Amino acid sequence: MSKLNRKWMACFNYSVLGAGAFAIAATALPVMAQSVESPLNKRPSKVDMSKVSGSLLNLHEKYQGYQEQKSVQKLSTVFNPPNSRMVITADTVVFDAAASGDPEVLANDLKALGALDVTVFGRMVSGRLPLSAIPALKNLPSLQLVRPSYMTKHPVSAGVTSQGDFSMQSEMARTTFEVDGTGVKVGTLSDSYNCLGGAAEGVANGELPVDVTVLQEGPCPGSDEGRAMMEIIHDVAPGAALSFRSAFIGGQAGFAQGILDLAADGATVINDDISYNAEPFYQDGVISQAIDMVAAQGVSYFTSTGNAGRKAYEAPFRPSGQTVNLGSGNGDQEAHDFDPGPGVDICQQITIPAGASVTISFQWDEPFFSVSGAPGSASDLDILLTDASCNTSAPLAIADNPNFGADPVEILSFDNPGSEATFNLVILKYSGPNPGLMKTIATSENFTYDEFDTKTGASYGHPLAVGASGVGAAFYQQTPAFGQTPPLIEESSSAGGTAILFDTAGNRLATPNVRQNPMITGPDGGNTSFFGSDFEGDGFPNFFGTSAAAPHVAGVAALMNELVPGITPAAINTALQNTAIDMNDPSTPGFDIGFDYGTGYGLVDANAALAAIAPPTVVDVTSNVKISQTGIRYDRRTGQFVQQVTVANITAGFISDPVSLVLDNLSSNVTLANLDGTNSGGAPYVTLNTGGDGLAPGESTSILLQFSNPTFQSITYKPAVFSGTL
């Protein structure tokens, strides 16, 4: 089994889609659409979608059909949305909306329509809206735009311990530094905690602590991936308290509020494995802003970078001179030229395997209205998927919401029901200036860009936040602890490199800000008690993906918080970076020394990271050495008294650097001229030159002491030797 298949067997990367796509072929439409009547004239126009995304309108149409069929046939089945990544619970859909004015007014208007779990964060309002209320949205003056929150989880899989604990040396760190996370609380944001009902058994079997705090459970049914993440944290930091808050309820604003809630509940370390497809690529959205807020309060935040590897295309919009008419009164739209050379090609060939689903987030370099308010996007772009012949008159899926004055994002979703695997993407400009940069990111197993593939990093959104530490993934069996040096990054681990181009007020930055993401790599593929598939055949399921890597590193941060109470997130990150095991980004030529956008600073080494922050340990080794002294003589050239002292290690043990000679009870009116400092008792000391390697058994070192003695009195002192920083 290939590594790629192994990973997708065990995990799903949860992303939340944001803008709407009109998925023509999402249900029963054959893959070869030429024989099917073009549905272009049945699609809502941009006027119809001026506030409400096409995907919400399409969702309501499907729901109406379901209700009519249910009443006639007396069905007992649950409504299945046209896109499986929409979050539908109890006939409600999770949404993200932006207010045209005061967001509190919009929140109240939405509540009047029956919306639940309504959360306001900045200009964004999120919650759950009854499906029957979707048509009424267009009549709200307080509404600027609304779209469903499409979710994408980052893939995962009775005393079960993750092998990642051994892989990153956290097992050794707990023993060496006598820490287990006691006194530290770690918060987790994911889908759900106990929808499957196994939490009590997990506590009874020691997989979880007894005092788990659940601030908000996720929508059920759910996979309980959050509980699997918390099992990993408990493996690494068994003494830490754990808390959970679903990121699936309340959309982006709810996610952002959940971060603040966990911090307010006492979490000093937070981790998540959720992303929303409509999070801005080129600007810090509301989730990033929430992370920066808690980081400023001293909270360390770790997030999975995603599992899309480098499945991303990025380029400026290049006018092709060719137009496409999508109908619905939209007129002719100029197509993007994918060919960067002298040729012209408006079609980008891609592969979507039979039976597979793909979600493509498409964004361009304009500010988000939902983040910074007016003016929003100056350009309106659309994206469509066609068959292998690139027949634009019968597209299989379209995302063409009005973007002018709104958000520069389209979400295209497609389920491939047939045997054909070759398709094409087409990008169109409806209005506005040509974007200087635009990007598509695909989340799908075995999806490939077959031409014009720029292979840019597919990590986006809040992993790029200043206060966040993005975590990549390395299979535990491909780390030094299991015989692989250097460790190898998972092919699916999302790479970074996307630039932040706008501040949160919507101003274009003078210089693009390319942040270091991922920051670090953690292990994945270890055992849990219930989540994933049993890849090794040892009877326990394995949890793969960056969703598993992030909680491993969060557990290490908990150990570091116990060892050094009050340690700052910056100090934790510095220690993790400086002690990481260097890795190579396989997409670049040669070996990448230090940071790279594929692996960050490398694989986390918990034992080394804790050693880097450990308070200095000073050991009196006087009884382990022989101190030899010459007589004290007067040096006429310098006017000082001098004495040579030799220190020899007379034990079979090693004396670690730094090794210092302390002069206790030095005669009054006598000072040591060449001292290196004084100890806590005020006695002068000198650091012995050991060549930087300490004193091995039988090894010795000498130093010439220089005394200032203006009264020429007798010089006496009591020598002592210490190992450690005084």
The 10s digit of each residue's pLDDT in 353-380 is 999 999 999 999 999 999 999 999 999 9
Look up tokens 């310098």; give the residue: 638
Task: Assess if residue 645 is contained within a domain.
Answer: yes
Asked whether residue 2 is domain-assigned, the answer is no
State residue 605's pLDDT score.
97
Give CA–CA dist 304/546, Å, rounded: 5
357: domain CATH number is 2.60.120.380
Q: Is residue 21 a part of any domain in this protein?
A: no
Q: Is residue 127 part of a domain?
A: yes
DSSP 170-204: HHHHHHHHT---TT-EEEEEES-SSTTS-HHHHHH
Asked if the peptide bond before residue 44 counts as cis, ω within 30 degrees of 0, the response is no
Residue 39: band (very low, low, confident or very high) from pLDDT cuts 50, 70, 90: very low
Are the C-beta atoms of 311 and 447 separated by less than 8 Å? yes
What confidence tens digit (pLDDT) does each residue in 230-245 have? 999 999 999 999 999 9
Task: Round to whole Å and give the CA distance between 398 and 428.
Answer: 11
The verdict on 214 and 339 lying in the same domain is no
Residue 368 to residue 96: CA distance in whole angstroms = 13
Rounded alpha-carbon distances, angstroms, from residue 116 to 16, 131, 138, 218, 724: 19, 12, 19, 14, 59
Q: Does residue 638 fall inside a structural domain?
A: yes
pLDDT tens digit string along 548-586?
A: 999 999 999 999 999 999 999 999 999 999 999 999 999
Statement to judge: residues 560 and 573 lie in one domain: yes
Residues 590-638: tens digit of each pLDDT = 999 999 999 999 999 999 999 999 987 788 999 999 999 999 999 999 9
316 and 442, same domain (yes or no): yes
Give the H/E segment covering residue 59.
helix 54-73
- Among residues 110, 130, 148, the one where a domain terminates is 148
Give yes or no for residue 4 having a pLDDT over 80: no
317 confidence band (pLDDT: 50, 70, 90): very high
**pLDDT of the residue at 446:** 85
Closest to 645 in 3D by CA, of 631, 633, 658: 631
Question: Is the model more confident about 39 or about 248?
Answer: 248
Check pLDDT > 80 for residue 153.
no
On whether both 589 and 636 belong to a single domain, the answer is no
How far lies 117's CA from each of 93, 96, 125, 246, 529, in Å?
11, 12, 10, 12, 32
Number of domains in the chain: 4
- Look at residue 61 in the predicted model and tell me its pLDDT: 87
Please report the pLDDT score of residue 74 as a whole number: 62
Final residue belonging to a domain, choices 130, 148, 166 = 148
> Over 60: is that where the pLDDT of 17 sits?
no
The domain boundary residue, chosen from 567, 589, 613: 613
Number of helices (H) and strands (E) in the chain: give both, helices first: 13, 40
What's the pLDDT score for residue 69?
78
- Output DSSP code: residue 22: B
pLDDT category at 35 given cuts 50, 70, 90 is very low
Residues 434 and 337 in one domain: yes
Establish if 13 belongs to a structural domain.
no
Same domain, 672 and 712: yes
| DSSP state, residue 494 | P
Structure confidence at residue 41 (pLDDT): 45
Q: What is the CATH number of the domain that holds 606?
A: 3.40.50.200
Is residue 7 situated within a structural domain?
no
pLDDT band at 42 (very low <50, low <70, confident <90, very high): low
Q: Quote the domain boundaries for residue 359.
A: 311-449
Amino acid identity, position 395: P
Helix (H, G, I), strand (E, B) or coil at 578: helix
Helix axes 546-563 and 170-177, enclosed angle (nearest 10): 10
Q: Find where tokens 């959360």 sit.
A: 119
Average pLDDT over residues 261-281: 97
- Whether residues 181 and 299 share a domain: the answer is yes
pLDDT tens digits for range 447-501: 999 999 999 999 999 999 999 999 999 999 999 999 999 999 999 999 999 999 9
Please say whether the beta carbons of 463 and 276 come within 8 A.
Answer: no
- Among 138, 417, 441, 407, smallest CA distance to 310 is for 441
CATH label of the domain that carries residue 683: 2.60.40.290
Lowest mean pLDDT among 28-42, 46-60, 69-83, 301-315: 28-42
What is the residue-averaged pLDDT of the chain?
A: 90
Residues 626 and 703 in one domain: yes
Cα separation of 403 and 509, whole Å? 22
Instruction: Say if 322 falls within a structural domain.
Output: yes
Closest CA to 126 of 140, 147, 141: 147
Q: Looking at the structure, do residues 302 and 343 belong to the same domain, yes or no?
A: no
| 221 — pLDDT class (breaks 50, 70, 90) | confident
Dihedral angle computed from the Cα positions of residues 196, 202, 208 and 213, in that order, rounded to the nearest 10 degrees:
40
CATH of the domain at 52: 3.30.70
Q: Nearest CA to 185 among 550, 611, 561?
A: 561
Let me know whether 300 and 315 are in one domain: no
Residue range 104-119: mean pLDDT, rounded: 95
**From the CA atom positions of the chain, what is the Rg in Å?**
31
Return the higher-pLDDT residue of 644 and 89: 644
575 shares its domain with 700: no
| 658 and 718 both lie in a single domain | yes
Of all residues in the chain, the percent with pLDDT exceeding 70 is 91
Q: Is the pTM of this model over 0.85?
A: no
Q: Inform me whether the pLDDT recorded for 408 exceeds 70.
A: yes
CA 666 to chain centre: 57
What does the pLDDT look like over 331-359, one tens digit per residue? Answer: 899 999 999 999 999 999 999 999 999 99
